[in-house]
Amino acid sequence: MSEKLAQKWRECKLKPPLVCELDLTRTRGDGDFPCPNCGVIISPEDETEDVYRILETKVRGQALEELIIQCNKCATRIRLIGFPIPETDNL
């Protein structure tokens, strides 16, 4: 490996991943959205982890409050907020 290529690889490994926040209440459609960094389409229907992987989930009571995912293409971490609050019956 050339020294220039080796230096670029070291720099890449030292950079922390980009972290973005996405409020789902501000999105339209079926929940698909592009990665804010590379543009790959991320779909909540995709359960294969080919495009992204789930890093962390935060739940309050019975409701999903926050989800942190990572794009597999560019390693950007995306903090998803604004999940719909499930309705509860007050019987």
Domain segments of the chain as ranges = 17-81
Residue entry with tokens 């903090």: 79
Rg (CA), the chain: 17
Q: Using DSSP bridges, classify how beta strands 33-34 and 19-23 pair: parallel, antiparallel or unpaired.
A: unpaired
Q: Does residue 12 carry a pLDDT above 90? A: no
What does pTM read for this prediction? 0.74
d(CA 74, CA 82): 24
pLDDT tens track for 29-60:
778 899 998 999 999 888 899 999 999 999 98
Which residue did the predictor score with more confidence, 22 or 5?
Answer: 22
